[in-house]
Amino acid sequence: LSDKYRRGALLVVEQTELESAKTQLLLEKLSNLGLSFDEDRGEGHRVLIVGSNSREQQAQADCKLASQNIPWVSMVHAVNCNVLKLVQHSVLIIGRDGLRDLEARFKQSGMAADQGPVRRTWPPSAVLREYRAARAASTVEMQE
């Protein structure tokens, strides 16, 4: 999330809802935010919309339904959001409720910043590099 924020690819909106489940309406809202995708050239923004965990909201369900018709847009609830989805998409749009739910999920799983260092799992090359460095250091200690 902090990387997306630094790059300006994190958009926090008031809510991730649509008045009706119309793909055209969602496309208009995305273009108003300056987001587009050229399918012929394969260039543009891949958008992930993160909604709140409240599944009772019909307007949020309409947004999810409309996003299913656009190949470069995905929508998930905060409870289903994972690192892979965050990495696969260039832009993250998240509602205030979704941000609150996502923050609560990370705190619950022990991934909050105030709980000390988190074991690195991504990218795999960095994990492998750290493993090899630790292994080499332990080998040197054993030889002494």
Give the pLDDT of residue 97: 85
On average, the pLDDT of the chain sits at 76
Q: What is d(CA 138, CA 107) in angstroms, rounded to the nearest whole number?
A: 33
Is pLDDT at 126 greater than 80 in this prediction? Answer: no
Burial 16-29 (b: 16+ CB within 10 A, else e): bbbeebeeeebbeb
User: What spatial distance separates the first Cα and last Cα of the chain, rounded to whole Å?
Assistant: 43
Triad 134, 112, 103: Cα angle to 5°: 145
Among 49, 42, 28, 31, which Cα is nearest to 95's?
A: 49
H or E element at residue 103: helix 96-108
Q: Which two tokens stand for residue 134?
A: 């630790």
pLDDT band at 40 (very low <50, low <70, confident <90, very high): low
Give the pLDDT of residue 139: 64
Q: Three-state SS string across 18-71, please? A: CCCCCHHHHHHHHHHCCCCEECCCCEECCEEEEECCCCCCHHHHHHHHHHCCCC
